[in-house]
Amino acid sequence: MDPHQASSHPPQPRPPPPRPTRGAPGTGPTAVLPPERTWPMTGPRPARASSTDSPHPRPERRRPLLRRPRLVVAALALSLGASLLASGATATALPDATAPSLTAAAPAVEPPSTQNVVFFDDFNGPAGAGVDGGKWTHEVGDNWGNNRESQYYTPGTRNAALDGNGNLAITARKENPNNYQCWYGRCEYTSARLNTAGKFNAQYGRVEARIKIPHGQGIWPAFWMLGADYADVGWPQTGEIDIMENVGFEPGRVHGTLHGPGYSAGGGIGASYTLPGGQRFADNFHVFAVDWSPNRISWSVNGTVYQTRTPADLGGRQWVFNKPFFLILNFAVGGEWPGYPDASTQFPQQMLIDYVRVTEGQTPPPTGRTGTITGLAGKCVDVANANSANGTPIQLHDCNGNAAQQWTVPGDGTLRAYGKCLDVDGPSTADGAAVHLWDCHGGPSQQWAISGARDIVNIPANKCLDVREHNTNNGTRLQIWTCSGNPNQKWNTP
């Protein structure tokens, strides 16, 4: 047995209690925890589909009703206008990124101009004071046994209070002062989980927090978001964006993940980031952030981007992140992913949050980018004979700087030349379907995503723009084909 999975209280299967209706958001600072999503952040994290480098694969996790579903997550540039490519760089999603040269401590960051800040909490106040009830709600309960976590989340200030030094301290304790009952019997630990549901929802912009995480076997802190429509559609349909989560047996690594329909729990999409030189995240404060725009999310640690995700990463599955999400901070103890505390784990443990900030319009996707699209043999995507008529074939040709090779990425999922759109003939989703120029109509045959791997993907077909038969001759037609990673499907875009 994996020693990190060992538990002093072997899980005894017990039917989860009926899911209670979550306290009405905004009616008070305390709400009953709904059952955790099938694989929320408070439960064991499954192995990330996009990263197999961890020696401790994530077990399947179950999602709670209001509990955060773990959505791992790293992204490619999909909204063709929201891509890192717009700056000339590729948005490569790394399964495990390592900081090139990062100072151990991240300095405190002053909030930017308030005209762009839509949510900010710096947790200033006297030691022992509670959180601002106008911004945060306590979730209360044992997370319904999801992820087989061991803690009981309490209300009040016992486990979540200001420390008097400008931080929120979420404290996990090995105690049970009120005979709390958990899925496995009498609870062994207390902690806290806070969310902004019904009080603040974010949609696009920069979402960040400066946090000093706790450490030790069985420790599981996280900063994440759930779709504001969670109560209506449930998890994973609502979507989950895990901005940061750490499991104690990986002291120098954090994970970022997306969860949604068809890619939740162990199938979440994400990547991890590792500090250099054996540093531990628990030794200093670090800034964890996502920069979020339509069809594109990038994760960073201390300003270093380590992954970007777009619909092109989902293999044709639904992208559910172009809508409002609420924020969650929690500190779980135990679970199928982190394992359980052992004799080496010290209590109490604290997760310190210096600030949480959401800034709109900080990193809007670039729009109207115009230039050439180059591919195989360095040749250009070209409108045949410079003919702007509907149905004109799109081909490979020597680059010449003519208007027939000038493509615009307007940010709406289309690629345009002569004011018309790159379109799949038919429309068809079959291998070998030709592409041509056509009046823009917003249909699926004209929806494209640029991935960090330099694929141009037709979203409904989940197939790549392809040079027929790897032929580098001028005039070779372009088509869609099952994505293979071959050079005839790799492109450099504006």
> Model confidence over 304-360: pLDDT tens digits?
889 999 998 998 999 999 999 999 999 999 999 999 999 999 999 999 999 999 998
Residues in the chain: 494
Q: Bridge partners of 189?
A: 151
Closest CA to 4 of 346, 350, 334, 348: 334
CATH code of the domain in which 445 resides: 2.80.10.50
Residue labelled with tokens 């995480």:
213
Is 60 in the same domain as 131? Answer: yes
User: Burial letters for 315-336: b for 16+ Cβ neighbours within 10 Å, e otherwise?
Assistant: eeeebbbeeebbbbbbbbbbbb
Annotated catalytic residue: which of 188, 240, 250, 336? 240
Q: Is residue 91 located within the same domain as residue 216? A: yes
Query: DSSP strand E in 201-324: where?
Result: 205-212, 219-227, 240-245, 253-259, 269-274, 286-293, 296-301, 304-309
Pick from 27, 433, 351: nearest CA to 197: 27
The answer to whether residues 414 and 331 belong to one domain is no
Number of alpha carbons in the 13 Å side-chain half-sphere of residue 402: 14
The closest of 101, 338, 97 to 215, measured between CA atoms, is: 338
Q: Are 338 and 444 contained in the same domain?
A: no
Predicted pLDDT of residue 206:
92
d(CA 224, CA 202): 12
CA–CA dist 183, 150 (Å, integer): 8
The bridge status of strand 416-417 relative to strand 30-32 is unpaired
Determine, yes or no, domain membership for 364: no
**pLDDT for the residue numbered 368:** 64
The residue from 359, 382, 397 where one domain ends is 359
Domain with residue 99: its CATH number is: 2.60.120.200
State the DSSP string of 197-208: TTT--B-SEEEE
Strands 137-140 and 30-32 turn out to be parallel
Bond into 236 cis (ω within 30)? yes
What spatial distance separates the first Cα and last Cα of the chain, rounded to whole Å?
51
What sign for the dihedral angle of Cα 246, 250, 253, 258?
Answer: negative
Say which of 139, 149, 208, 245 is annotated catalytic.
245
Of residues 57 and 437, more confidence is placed in 437
Q: What is the pLDDT of residue 166?
A: 95
Residue 389 located in a structural domain: yes
> Does residue 381 share a domain with residue 331?
no
Residue type, 214: P
SS3 254: strand
CA distance 384 to 240: 44
For residue 7, the model assigns a pLDDT of: 31
How distant, in Å, are the alpha carbons of 120, 378, 439 from that of 494?
35, 14, 21
State the Cα torsion 2-45-138-113 to the nearest 10°: 120
Domain boundary among 312, 330, 359: 359
Asked if the bond preceding 494 is cis, omega within 30° of 0, the reply is no
Statement to judge: residues 270 and 393 lie in one domain:
no
Q: Please tell me whether residues 335 and 415 are part of one structural domain.
A: no
In a domain, 339, yes or no: yes
Weakest-pLDDT range from 88-92, 409-413, 436-440, 442-446: 88-92
Is position 422 within any domain? yes
Of 206, 463, 189, 140, residue with least CA distance to 358:
206
With beta carbons less than 8 A apart as the criterion, state whether 211 and 244 touch: yes
What percent of the chain is modeled with pLDDT above 70? Answer: 75
Boundaries of domain holding 388 = 369-489
pLDDT at 102: 28
Residue 35 pLDDT exceeds 60: no
Cβ-in-10-Å burial (0-12, 13-18, 19+) of 1 comes to: exposed
360 or 101: which leads in pLDDT: 360
Same domain, 446 and 465: yes
What is the predicted pLDDT for the residue at 449? 85
pLDDT of residue 361: 58
Query: What pLDDT was estimated at residue 490?
Result: 94
245: annotated active-site residue: yes
For residue 494, being part of any structural domain is answered with: no
Q: How far is CA 477 from CA 189, 440, 474, in A?
A: 64, 21, 9
Residue 237 lies in a domain: yes
- Boundary residue ending a domain (359, 392, 423): 359
In 207-354, alpha helices (H): 230-233
pLDDT band at 8 (very low <50, low <70, confident <90, very high): very low
Average the pLDDT over 410-429 and give the result.
90
Please say whether the dihedral angle defined by the alpha carbons of residues 225, 230, 233 and 234, taken in this order, is positive or negative.
positive
Q: Let me know whether 16 and 154 are in one domain.
A: yes
For residue 489, what is the DSSP state? Answer: G
Statement to judge: residues 38 and 57 lie in one domain: yes
CA distance linking residue 292 with residue 25, whole number of Å: 25
Euclidean distance between CA atoms 217 and 212, whole angstroms: 17
Q: What is the mean pLDDT of residues 172-190?
A: 97
Q: Is residue 457 part of a domain?
A: yes
**Pairing of β 456-458 and β 463-467:** antiparallel
Averaged pLDDT of the chain: 79
**pLDDT on residue 265:** 84
Q: What Å distances lie between residue 418 and 86, 390, 399, 406, 475, CA to CA?
A: 20, 11, 17, 8, 19
pLDDT computed for residue 116 by the predictor:
84
Q: Would you tell me how many other CB atoms lie within 10 Å of the CB of residue 123? A: 21
**Is 469 contained in some domain?**
yes
Q: Domain count of the chain?
A: 2
Q: 346 and 400 share a domain?
A: no
Active-site residue flag, 240: yes
293 shares a domain with 342: yes
Q: Percentage of the chain with pLDDT > 90? A: 64
Given this model, what pLDDT does residue 462 score? Answer: 82
